[in-house]
Amino acid sequence: GFVNMVRTNNAKVRDFLYTKLNELKLEYIPTQTSFIMIKLGERSGEITDKLMTKGYLIRLGSVFNMPQYIRVSLGTLEQMEGFVNTLKEIL
């Protein structure tokens, strides 16, 4: 049903994102939820601002007492491809 479809989609999106983050040599916290924490270090605030101006829903990790991280909500595969491409440009 619908729940299984969403779970399958989230797993595909997560696997795609893990692969791309590994290629970019970025640390992240593997997740079973609808978001992922990605470590960007000292530039996390600057990168968050730039991603948000491009329309990506990002929260700064300092909200969760993790200032070196950003929290990225998982979307569709197409949205995550766009996110990764935009992140590459910013980095």
Where are the alpha helices (H) located in 1-91, listed in sequence order?
2-23, 44-53, 77-90
56-65 as b/e: b if 16+ CB within 10 A:
bebbbbeeee
pLDDT at 24: 96
pLDDT at 86: 96
pLDDT at 10: 82
Contact 74, 35 (CB under 8 A): yes
Query: Which pTM was predicted?
Result: 0.87
As a whole number of Å, the CA-based R_g of the chain is 13
pLDDT at 21: 97
Predicted confidence pLDDT, tens digits, the chain (91 residues): 888 877 787 889 999 999 999 999 999 998 888 889 999 999 999 999 999 999 988 998 888 899 999 999 888 899 999 999 999 999 9
